């Protein structure tokens, strides 16, 4: 780089100069790029990655598959390769991509992922055989024969830079022996007691590929921050690792290592850049891999300039990323890659395209070819133009305004056929192409230029008369310049003599091209039919012959005619007027509708004439309907409705789809932010669908709602009757509170004053859904009980002694009498009904009732269902617990996990926990009176 000018660097071709390509930087992924290049040129690793089976999991979430693609691209591409697929497979978001990560941690995570995916494959042991060594951690007694040790695998070694001038110094520091004596003696067990000992780490073996991480960062207590260490630290091109091995290590093969990679960081902890110097071949040169550039490097650039330390001239230089002056180099090595000299041939094994999985190479090559094709297409785009061809075949499949629509799904038969042709193609040649595509003789096809009219419709305007014009010239002369070129393909049948005669479209009484559509009120469809030619001076009624023939209707069939001027203007034509008087010109659309009686149409026809249906098309909107309470996957559906539909009309459409009486449906808007139902819409015949869906209609209180979706609910009764009643949700508790309780680990119940049940660990109960009852708004609790009896199928005997009570925040509020009006029951409370327990019905003198609730650790963390409980003064608490078990329905080991306490009603009071075998004096009638006897 130092020998290149800025111009030559920007135009530098790595592949041409070095035969290798770089990796594109996504923002701050230079650290990843340097590591990936290092692993790529560890050929045995690359070969092992190719051996991972990915054919059945070829997707972007599979990191092995994305790494295979990345390596194959590095192996075969001519330009820098993107790492975005790989980072996406890691699950990285864009925020992570712009943050520098720890290279050692990243390397280990990648190895772990790959090791899992290599299990059971030919490459299962490839990674450990390449990167794993063994180290022994030991404590050895000096004066007795006793040693404690363990041997562990390592994937890399972290070596300290601070205080160590060379790599050898760092290794010696790593295996330095600590003497444990004095107060720090080692406990050698009962047989030897406290002993002087040596404590340290020694290596048993090193891997063929040795990754050394130089600790260039440490915590500075004075600055209270992590700081980079730029001290000089020399590392050799070759070194002997045997001095760092234990005496028992295998020395049958030399432990000499040769440098093949130097990963460098330039800058400081907060800002900087990563790049790598790698030796791709056994005896080759080093190359600098700096993101997308690969440049040959010298040994001095690789070693000397990355030792760190002071600059040679001592004057100091501005750091390139922090812009601060320093006498120390900011660029220095942070990771070294050495390969054992005796294993170099095994590690740098030749990897060719034959090692790449066939399915992967095929897919990548196809994608590359497609990318080249698209690039060529973009480069040649100025030479080509697109022409959309509308035919009678596509028109007959069209059911909307004009002759065509461009917002349909690909493959829809109503879409015009688009041709991409050279701008220099002659009109005659293009006509030949269209005819051949349709299997017709070219003499039978005539093309009409379509134009965008001022009323924003698109219609055929005039034929392409000069076959020698280029298509570009024809489009320039006859079509709208701002819009893509569209043509209508007119197809004509030959005459009796086999010749095709085209109607003359010029002159005072020339033929006019009229496009015909048919509206069928029974099926509620508008469809293209075809085209006819009429004389300007002919009467509109003369269309009867062609229409009857096209539709195969009997003679005398009457019908109405409408001109489709634009979507918002549909005029009925007068049969006795001429086409010229009716201002009919080439490309105009006339819609016809057969005259039918009311009985023929039937009662369910919504749009009885073409004008009404066109108005529907103009106001058509797709509305998604979903049930308030989902019952099945197909309960959500979408309907095409008109914004002008009244409440009754769109309700009828939904009822027709659901096959339910529309009077038994009600609807709720959808909240924009949460997607939850908002308050139900009140039925108002004066409001249409547009008003209901529009947030400005504050009468519904529905600001912030979606304008393309509604929730629906199927009612048991009609909506009009429903609106005279109040919805009551009540939970029936036939066996204590067990039917409704859901307890998580470590919950507390308490017994009153607030008598509370506590500490349910791992107890899970079925949660019973409340019954929904419709009760007259003027009704009372008696009506609720009658509805509950019917819904829950309860007999009369059970209903003789039933209590109804309100709860709020899991605390009992009040017990409701039979005459209590439902209008006074708030929607925010929980309503419960239960049989009154026998001990309440048979209370003895001195007994009294208290309210009980459940809490989790703190009394203000209530949960579950509260209940009434009878207190018997003087009773031991162990006997009370037995009654509590029966009252709540919780038994056995689950009940044993519960704690009990008395809680005063006073705010912030602490619970007083109760023990077995003792009475609970706090629950006296007098004290309860003072605390209002509530939980």
Q: Where are the alpha helices (DSSP H) in 485-628?
A: 544-551, 598-601, 610-618
Task: Report the alpha-carbon distance of residue 243 to residue 862 in Å, rounded.
Answer: 67
Evaluate whether 740 touches 764 at the Cβ level (below 8 Å): no
CA distance 459 to 82: 47
Any idea what the Cα angle at residue 583 is, between residues 580 and 588, rounded to 5°?
110
Angstrom distance (rounded) from CA 320 to CA 333: 16
Question: How far apart, in whole angstroms, are the C-alpha atoms of residue 482 and residue 460?
Answer: 17
- Compute the mean pLDDT over every residue in the chain, rounded to the nearest whole number: 85
Q: Give me the DSSP letters along 308-360.
A: -SB-TTSS-EE-TTT--EESB-SEEEEEEEEEEGGGHHHHT----GGGS-HHH
| Integer Cα distance of 516 and 531 in angstroms | 6
The neighbouring-strand residues paired with 77 are: none
C-alpha span between 52 and 119 (Å, rounded) = 9
pLDDT at 549: 95
At 918 the pLDDT is: 56
Task: Tell me how long the chain is.
Answer: 935
Contact 924, 873 (CB under 8 A): yes
Instruction: State the Cα–Cα distance between residues 75 and 126, nearest whole angstrom.
Output: 20
User: How does 635-660 read in b/e, with b if 16+ C-beta sit within 10 Å?
Assistant: eeeeeebbbbbbbebbbbbbbeebee
Residues above pLDDT 90, as percent of the chain:
52
| pLDDT single digits (tens) 654-693 | 999 999 999 999 999 999 888 899 888 888 778 899 988 8
Q: Which residue has the tokens 């009985």?
A: 599
What pLDDT shows up at residue 203? 96
Long-range CB contacts for residues 824-828, cutoff 8 Å, separation at least 24: 825/726, 825/728
- Coil vs helix vs strand at 929: helix
The pLDDT, as a whole number, for residue 738 is 60
Cα torsion 286, 290, 292, 297: sign: negative
> Pairing state of beta strands 620-627 and 588-594?
unpaired
What SS3 state is found at 465? coil
Interior CA angle at 912 toward 907 and 916, to 5°?
155
Domains in the chain, ordered, with CATH? 14-128 (3.90.70.10), 384-395+417-491 (3.10.20.90), 511-616 (3.10.20.90), 623-722 (3.10.20.90), 727-930 (3.10.20.90)
Instruction: For residue range 583-594, list pLDDT tens digits in order.
Output: 999 999 999 999
- Give dist(CA 196, CA 115) in Å, integer: 42
Give the integer Cα–Cα distance in Å for 544 and 563. Answer: 15
What CA–CA distance (Å, rounded) separates 417 from 389? 5
pLDDT in the model for residue 98: 40
Token code pair at residue 773: 């009852």
Distances (CA, A) of 632 to 174, 626, 627: 65, 10, 9
Q: CA 770 to CA 831: how far, in whole Å?
A: 9
Integer Cα distance of 486 and 811 in angstroms? 73
Cβ–Cβ < 8 Å for 484, 490: no
Q: Dig out the tokens for 406 from the structure.
A: 């461009």
> What's the pLDDT score for residue 412?
92
Q: What is the 3-state secondary structure (H, E, C) of 229-285?
A: CCCCCECCCEEECHHHECCCCCCCCCCEEEEEEEEEEEECCCCEEEEEEECCCCCCC
Rounded Cα gap, residues 38 and 294, in angstroms: 13
* Nearby residues of 501 by Cβ (< 8 Å), 6 or more positions away: 492, 495
Q: Which of 63, 32, 42 is nearest to 207 (CA)?
A: 42
Q: Is 731 helix (H, G, I), strand (E, B) or coil?
A: strand
Separation between Cα atoms, residue 735 and residue 888, nearest integer Å:
7
Per-residue model confidence (pLDDT) at position 5: 52
Residue given tokens 């506590």 in the structure block:
758
Element spanning 860, H or E? strand 858-871
Dihedral pair phi/psi, residue 308, rounded to 5° = 85, -165
Burial of 404 (0-12, 13-18, 19+ CB in 10 A): buried
**Which secondary structure element, helix H or strand E, spans residue 159, and what is its range?**
strand 157-160
Half-sphere exposure of 763 (CA within 13 A, CB side): 25
Q: At what angle do helices 63-76 and 358-379 cross, to 10 degrees?
A: 60
Phi and psi, residue 552, nearest 5°: 60, 40
Give the span between the Cα atoms of 51 and 117, in whole angstroms.
10
- Contact between residue 837 and residue 781 where contact means Cβ atoms under 8 Å apart: no
User: Which parts of the chain register pLDDT below 50?
Assistant: 1-3, 7, 94-98, 321-322, 696-702, 739-767, 924-935
Rounded-to-integer distance, Cα 564 and Cα 910, Å: 81
Round to whole Å and give the CA distance between 377 and 766.
Answer: 63
Write the burial class of residue 442 (CB in 10 Å: 0-12 exposed, 13-18 middle, 19+ buried).
Answer: middle
Which pair of structure tokens corresponds to residue 181? 């004596």
Give the active site residues.
30, 273
pLDDT at site 132: 94
Query: Smallest Cα–Cα separation from 394: which of 488, 502, 512?
Result: 488
CA–CA separation, 837 vs 785, rounded Å? 18
Three-class DSSP category at 504: coil
Q: 171 in helix, strand or coil?
A: helix
Q: Residues 428, 430, 434, 436: is their CA dihedral positive or negative?
A: positive
């Amino acid at each position: 780089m130092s020998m290149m000018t800025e111009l030559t660097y920007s135009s530098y071709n790595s592949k041409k100069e070095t035969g290798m390509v770089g990796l594109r930087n996504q923002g701050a992924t230079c650290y990843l790029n340097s590591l990936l290049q290092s692993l790529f040129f560890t050929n045995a690793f690359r070969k092992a990655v190719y051996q991972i089976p990915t054919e059945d999991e070829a997707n972007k979430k599979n990191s092995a598959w994305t790494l295979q693609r990345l390596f194959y691209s590095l192996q075969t591409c001519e330009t820098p390769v993107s790492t975005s697929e790989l980072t996406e497979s890691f699950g990285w978001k864009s925020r992570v991509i712009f943050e520098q990560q720890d290279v050692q941690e990243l390397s280990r995570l990648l190895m772990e992922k790959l090791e899992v995916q290599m299990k059971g494959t030919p490459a299962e042991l490839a990674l450990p055989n390449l990167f794993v060594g063994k180290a022994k951690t030991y404590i050895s007694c000096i004066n007795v024969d006793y040693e404690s040790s363990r041997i562990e695998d390592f994937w890399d070694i972290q070596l300290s830079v601070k205080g160590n001038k060379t790599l050898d110094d760092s290794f010696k520091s790593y295996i330095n022996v600590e003497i444990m004596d004095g107060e720090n003696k080692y406990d050698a067990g009962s047989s030897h007691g406290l002993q002087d000992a040596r404590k340290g780490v020694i290596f048993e073996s090193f891997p063929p590929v040795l990754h050394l991480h130089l600790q260039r960062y440490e915590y500075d207590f004075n600055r209270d921050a992590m700081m980079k260490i730029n001290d000089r630290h020399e590392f050799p091109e070759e070194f002997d690792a045997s001095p760092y091995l234990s005496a028992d290590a295998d020395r049958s093969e030399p432990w000499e290592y040769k440098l093949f990679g130097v990963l460098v960081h330039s800058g400081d902890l907060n800002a900087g850049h990563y790049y790598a110097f790698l030796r791709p071949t056994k005896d080759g040169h080093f190359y600098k891999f700096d993101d997308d550039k690969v440049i040959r490097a010298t040994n001095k650039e690789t070693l000397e300039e990355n030792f760190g330390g002071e600059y040679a001239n001592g004057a100091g230089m501005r750091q390139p990323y922090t812009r601060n002056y320093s006498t120390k180099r900011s660029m220095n090595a942070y990771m070294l890659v050495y390969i054992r000299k005796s294993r170099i041939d095994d590690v740098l094994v030749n990897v060719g395209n034959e090692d790449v999985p066939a399915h992967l190479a095929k897919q990548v090559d196809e994608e590359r070819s497609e990318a080249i094709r698209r690039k060529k297409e973009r480069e040649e785009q100025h030479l080509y133009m697109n022409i959309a061809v509308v035919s009678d075949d596509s028109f007959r499949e069209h059911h909307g305004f004009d002759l065509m629509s461009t917002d349909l799904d690909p493959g829809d038969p109503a879409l015009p056929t688009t041709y991409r042709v050279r701008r220099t193609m002659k009109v005659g040649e293009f006509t030949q192409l269209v005819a051949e595509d349709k299997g017709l003789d070219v003499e039978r096809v005539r093309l009409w230029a379509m134009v965008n009219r001022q009323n924003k419709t698109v219609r055929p305007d005039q034929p392409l008369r000069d076959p020698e014009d280029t298509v570009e010239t024809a489009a320039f002369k006859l079509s709208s310049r701002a819009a893509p070129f569209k043509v209508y393909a007119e197809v004509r049948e030959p005459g009796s003599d086999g010749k095709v005669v085209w109607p003359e479209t010029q002159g005072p009484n020339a033929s006019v091209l009229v496009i015909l559509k048919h509206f069928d009120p029974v099926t509620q469809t508008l469809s293209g039919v075809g085209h006819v030619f009429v004389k300007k001076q002919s009467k509109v009624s003369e269309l009867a012959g062609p229409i009857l023939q096209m539709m195969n209707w009997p003679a005398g069939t009457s019908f109405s005619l409408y001109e489709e001027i634009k979507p918002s203007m549909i005029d009925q034509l007068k049969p006795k007027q001429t086409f010229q008087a009716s201002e009919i010109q080439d490309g105009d659309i006339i819609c016809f509708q057969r005259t039918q009686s009311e009985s023929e149409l039937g009662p369910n026809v919504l749009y009885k004439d073409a004008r009404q249906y066109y108005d529907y098309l103009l106001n058509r909107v797709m509305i998604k309907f979903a049930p308030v309470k989902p019952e099945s996957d197909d309960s959500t559906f979408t309907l095409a409705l008109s914004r002008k539909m009244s409440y009754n009309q769109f309700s009828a459409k939904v009822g027709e789809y659901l096959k339910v009486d529309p009077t038994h449906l009600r609807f709720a808007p959808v909240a924009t932010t949460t997607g939850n139902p908002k308050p139900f819409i009140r039925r108002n015949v004066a409001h249409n669908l547009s008003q209901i869906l529009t947030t400005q209609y504050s009468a519904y209180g529905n600001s912030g709602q979606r304008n393309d979706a509604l929730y629906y609910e199927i009612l048991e009764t009609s909506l009009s009757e429903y609106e005279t009643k109040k919805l009551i949700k009540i939970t029936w508790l036939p066996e204590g509170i067990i039917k409704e309780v859901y307890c998580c680990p470590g919950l507390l119940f308490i017994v009153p004053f607030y008598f509370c049940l506590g500490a349910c660990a791992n107890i899970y109960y079925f949660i019973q859904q409340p019954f929904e009852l419709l009760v007259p708004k003027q009704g009372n609790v008696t009506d609720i009980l009658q509805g509950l009896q019917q819904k829950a199928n309860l007999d009369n005997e059970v209903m003789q002694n039933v209590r109804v009570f309100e709860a709020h925040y899991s605390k009992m509020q009040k017990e409701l009498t039979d005459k209590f009006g439902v209008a006074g029951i708030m929607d925010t409370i929980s309503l419960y009904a239960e049989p009154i327990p026998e001990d309440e019905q048979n209370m003895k003198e001195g007994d009294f009732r208290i309210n009980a609730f459940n809490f989790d650790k703190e009394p203000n963390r209530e949960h579950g269902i509260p209940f009434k409980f009878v207190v018997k003064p003087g009773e031991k608490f162990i006997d009370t617990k037995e009654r509590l078990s029966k009252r709540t329905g919780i038994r056995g080991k689950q009940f044993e996990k519960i704690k009990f306490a008395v809680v005063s009603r006073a705010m912030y009071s602490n619970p007083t926990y109760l023990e077995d075998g003792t009475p609970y004096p706090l629950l006296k009638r007098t004290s309860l009176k003072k605390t209002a006897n509530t939980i």
